[in-house]
Amino acid sequence: MVTTSAPGAAPRKKKAAVPPASATHRYLTGSRPPGGAARQGVCTAHVSPEDLIVTAAEPEFARQFGLSAAEICGRNLLGLLCSPEPARLRERFTALSAGRNGSVTERVTGRDGAGRIFSADLTGTAVTSPWGEIVGIVILFRPTGNAHRPERHSGAVHSGGPVLNALDAQVLEGVARGESTVQLASRLYLSRQGIEYRVGQMLRRFDAPNRPALVARAHALGVFASGQWPPRVLPERVK
């Protein structure tokens, strides 16, 4: 049977094609971001925007830190990384999570399961829902150097940590020895307010909530000579 159209009748509209799965879904279900497979040596992980907790990771990403893909889930991303300026790195990710930046690119270091240091280029990209809500952060991680043990020289550990001015170094050494604000002020001929100001600046710089955490972060970043008492800041960490 032949079917004809009435003269002047409008042609039928084609049914709209169903759009492909959103990029958000692909990111959050663990697949590589577009073009990721072509980037040699790049591994990926996914973190929550609220607290930067790893929610999924490729096995290769987890192996960089001596962990399995299951073990690394639940870890804080910034806790896995060593940065000379941890407070600045946290601020950049806070801006990313809040939608003030579209991406973050940083050179970072980490430690593998044997305690060896490696460096890597990290890029974090916010993933948004169709309604503009940030629902995740994709981490692209490309190691840039072989893991190596920190070099030791005269009991010191060198790992590219932060540099302090001479007075801040003395304050930090005193904090590490357990000196109080009054004791530090008396020994360094500063006011108590001056000591508190310098300690507060270092707490923010090292992203530490209190003095014991400040000392621990400084040790982790190789600021102090290892195995030495009283604690001494390495000469190369003083400008």
pLDDT (tens digit per residue) in 143-158: 886 554 444 443 334 4
| Residues in CB range of 55: below 8 A, 6 or more apart | 46, 47, 48, 73, 136
Q: Which residue bears the tokens 């050179």?
A: 107
**Both tokens assigned to 54:** 């790893």
Q: Is the pLDDT of residue 3 over 70?
A: no
- Report domain 40-149's class: alpha beta
Residue ranges of the domains in the chain? Answer: 40-149, 156-237
Domain 156-237 listed as CATH 1.10.357.10:
no
| Residues in CB range of 70: below 8 A, 6 or more apart | none
Q: For residue 162, how many C-alpha atoms fall within 13 Å in the half-sphere facing its CB?
A: 23
pTM for the predicted model, two decimal places = 0.52
Interhelix angle 211-220/166-176, nearest 10 degrees? 110
Tell me, what's the pLDDT at 146? Answer: 57
Burial class (CB in 10 A: 0-12, 13-18, 19+), 176: buried
Burial class (CB in 10 A: 0-12, 13-18, 19+), 12: exposed
Tell me, what's the pLDDT at 56? Answer: 94
In single-letter form, the type of residue at position 11 comes to P
